[in-house]
Amino acid sequence: MKNFFASKWGIIIAGVFIGGIAAFLQYLGNPANMGFCMACFVRDIAGAIGLHKAGVVQYVRPEIIGILFGALIISVIKGEFKPRGGSSAIIRFFLGAFAMIGALVFLGCPWRAFLRLAGGDLNAILGIAGLATGIYIGTLFLKKGFNLGRALPSEGKLSGYIIPGFFGLIFLLFAFDFGKIMISSKGPGAMHAPMLISLGAGLIVGYLAQRSRFCTMGSLRDIFIIRNFHLFTGLAAFFVTVLVMNLILGQFNMGFEGQPIAHNLHIWNFLGMVLSGLAFVLAGGCPGRQIVLTGEGNTDSGVFVLGMLVGAGFAHNFGLSSSPKGLGPYGEYATIIGIVFCLLVGFFMIKRHK
C-alpha cells in the first residue's frame, strides 16, 4: 500500500506519536489526563463563544483547530479533500449532541477515557467498559443492515471549507483578542499548554490521524464486527506510550478517589459512555475521527461536530454535565433519553442492502 500510515507499523507509529504528544501537552499545562479530549475541548470552545456560561470551562482549544486544519491541509495535498454530504444530516446532528452529553456525564471522550486510565484513574475502566458495550450494541444494528444512507459529492468545493472556516474564525478572534470570546480565568478552562504549542500539536495529530485513520471507537468496533485488530494496535500503542510517559513525567496516580476532573459514580461512568459509544458507531467514527473527516470535507461529520458544540451548550445550560462533585441534576435523565434516541435511530435506520 502506498500510504505508509495505513500499514501495521504506520498505525503503531501514529499511536505512539499521538500518545506522546498528549502526555506532553499535559506536562506543559493542559488539565490532568486531558492532553486531548475531543468532548472537553469542543465543550470549552462552546463556552468561549457563549453557548454555555460555565465560567470554568471556556477556552478556544487550539488542539481542535489544529486537528481540523492538519487533516484539511494533508487531505488537500493527498487529493483526499472531497466535499460530500447528505447522509441523514439531522440524525447525525443529534447523535453528535447526545454523544457529547454522554461524554460529559462520564467526563471525557474515548481518547480521554484511555488517557485517564493511563494516568491511573481506575474510574476510566467503567467508562471504557461502557464504551465497549455501547459499541457492541451499535455493531448489532450494523449487522442487521443499519445505515444512514449514502453521502453524495457536493457541488464544488465550498461546502467542505465552511466548518473549518467557522472554527478558524473563532480561533483568529481568540488569538488576536478581538471581539467577545470568553476565556476562563480559573478551572480547567484556564489550564492549557502555550497556544502555539497546542496548535502545532493539533496540526501534527491531525496529519497523523488523517493518514492513519486512527479511531478509538473503530478500534473496538472492528474487533467486534470483522475481527480486525488493525486500528486497535494503534490505540494500544497510544495507551502504552501515554502510560510510559506519565510514569516518566510523574503524572501517574493510581486509584478511584480524588482523580482529576473525574467522579466515581460507577453506573453513570458506565452508562454515559454506553451512550457515547453507541452514538459514535451509528455515526461511523469517534469524535476525533469526526473532526478529521470534517477536515477532509465531509459535511456530515461537520454536522456531527456542530451537534457536539450545541450539545455541550445544552449540557452546561441545563445541568446535564457532571463535575468532580458528581452528576449534574439532570444528567441521569439526559443519559437515558440519549440512549433511547440512539436505539430508535438504530431500529428505524435498518435497511436491507440491495
Partner 1 sequence: MKQIDTRGLSCPQPVMLVSRAIKEDSSSLEILVDGGTASENILRTLEQFDLTAEVSQTEDYKTFIVNR
Bridge partner residues of 153 (DSSP): 84
Nearer to partner 1, 160 or 260 (CB): 160
Place of cell 455541550: 312
- The answer to whether 1 contacts partner 1 (rule: CB under 8 A) is yes
Nearer to partner 1, 181 or 215 (CB): 215
In Å, how far from its chain's centre is CA 139?
19
Place of cell 485513520: 213
- The answer to whether 213 contacts partner 1 (rule: CB under 8 A) is yes
CA distance 312 to 295: 21
Please spell the DSSP secondary structure of 69-102, one letter per residue: HHHHHHHHHTT----EE-SSHHHHHHHHHHHHHH
Alpha-carbon distances of 18 from 63, 66, 107, 147, rounded to whole Å = 12, 13, 20, 30
Residue range at the interface with partner 1 (CB under 8 A); choices 1-9, 115-123, 170-178, 322-330: 1-9
For the chain, give me the number of helices (H) and strands (E)?
Answer: 14, 2
CA distance 179 to 275: 36
Nearer to partner 1, 112 or 230 (CB): 230
| Shortest Å, Cβ 153 to partner 1 | 6
CB 113 within 8 A of CB 349: no
CB 286 within 8 A of CB 295: no
CA distance 338 to 145: 22
- The answer to whether 185 contacts partner 1 (rule: CB under 8 A) is no
Q: 26, 30, 58, 87: which one contacts partner 1 (CB under 8 A)?
A: 87
- The answer to whether 77 contacts partner 1 (rule: CB under 8 A) is no
Grid cell at residue 147: 445505515
- The answer to whether 78 contacts partner 1 (rule: CB under 8 A) is yes
Q: Which of residues 287-326 bind partner 1 (CB under 8 A)?
A: 300
CA distance 318 to 326: 15
N-to-C CA span, the chain = 30
Nearer to partner 1, 259 or 301 (CB): 301
Nearer to partner 1, 214 or 270 (CB): 214
CB 225 within 8 A of CB 209: no
Q: 285, 313, 331, 338: which one contacts partner 1 (CB under 8 A)?
A: 285
Q: 135, 148, 308, 334: which one contacts partner 1 (CB under 8 A)?
A: 148
Q: Find the largest Cα–Cα distance for the chain.
A: 56
| Shortest Å, Cβ 240 to partner 1 | 23
Binding map of partner 1 across residues 4-23, x = CB under 8 A, - = no contact = --x-----------------
| Shortest Å, Cβ 91 to partner 1 | 12
Residue range at the interface with partner 1 (CB under 8 A); choices 107-115, 226-234, 251-259, 268-276: 226-234
Q: How many residues bind partner 1 (CB under 8 A)?
A: 30
Residue range at the interface with partner 1 (CB under 8 A); choices 19-27, 225-233, 242-250, 334-342: 225-233
- The answer to whether 147 contacts partner 1 (rule: CB under 8 A) is yes
**Residues of this chain that bind partner 1 (CB under 8 A):** 1, 3, 6, 78, 80, 82, 84, 87, 142-143, 147-148, 150-153, 213, 215, 218, 221-222, 225-226, 228, 230, 283-285, 300, 353
